Copies of this chain bind each other. A is one copy, B any other.
């Protein structure tokens, strides 16, 4: 299938590469052109408009709302190149408001918008193991299906309204951020009482929660291994903002999102914007006067049996 692809960060590059391997014909655009040229077997377009010309499906995987608005609707933006009848699958995390606008703008041009944000970090993108949450007109989703299958391990559909996909992604990220925040607080608590966070994780996630997400973030936080980032803290802040905006629009207070946002801002003030978003947990450690990962000498003597 002829596919346009906008946005070649860590996620986008891996996803585009999986589409190419599956035999699709890609025309790609990235604001920093070097990242586009690093990709083999694809045509590098000079503008988003050019990347969108003649494609059946246009995929966007851009950093935030501002980037989407600029690359879609700006000068030489993709919307000016996209033909009637084509489909735009927005796969990055966007605000519920932008999802609504995209649906309307595309519909007004005889095009269709599928909201299709993904769950998964860059390693999942490379391994084509993303989970894709899609909502939009059903025939448009059908057209995207082979593409989604080449990038992900599964597709969850949510009906006709792309806003629903945006909101599920936003609320899902809120659950993850809340888990990271809670791990950060719990670790600070056990550590100052003499228990090694890694041992705490073994017990509480190993026996009780049994979640690969807690396992992954729990280990990252215990080791304070925040570089290289899988997902940057500045983007975590952006996602908290999306949750708060979605909440505000529907009159839903979200105190955990507020708390997480405030902690992200401290992280920003301390210069951690480009660490992994799990560095959120370091704010709780800092607020308890803890600096640096636990020494092996504090390691708890207990061993699981």
Residues in B with CB closer than 8 Å to A251 are 192, 265-266, 268-269, 288-289
Interface of A is mostly: helix
Q: How many copies does the complex hold?
A: 4
In this assembly, does A185 line the interface, its C-beta being within 8 Å of a C-beta of chain B? yes
| Complex interface: chain B residues within 8 A of A252 (CB) | 185, 188-189, 192, 265, 269, 288
CB distance from A142 to the nearest CB of B (A): 12
- Which of A189, A237, A270, A284 gathers the greatest number of chain B CB atoms within 10 Å? A189
Q: Flag whether A228 is at the interface (Cβ < 8 A).
A: no
Asked whether B212 lies within 8 Å of A210 as measured between CB atoms, the reply is: yes
User: Which of A7-15, A101-109, A174-182 contacts its partner?
Assistant: A174-182
Of the candidates B188, B266, B288, which one forms a contact with A287 in the assembled complex, judged by CB atoms under 8 Å apart?
Answer: B266
In this complex, the interface size class of chain A, counting residues with CB under 8 Å from chain B, is 35 or more
A167: CB under 8 A from chain B? yes
Q: Does A223 contact B (CB under 8 A)?
A: no
Question: With contacts A154-B207, A189-B246 known, is A265 near B241, CB below 8 A?
Answer: no
Closest to A218 in B: B175
Q: A-side interface residues toward B, CB under 8 Å?
A: 96, 119, 131, 133, 135, 154-161, 163-164, 167-168, 170-172, 174-176, 178-179, 181-183, 185-186, 188-190, 192-195, 199-200, 202-204, 207-214, 237, 241, 243, 246-248, 250-259, 261-263, 265-266, 268-271, 284, 287-289, 300-305
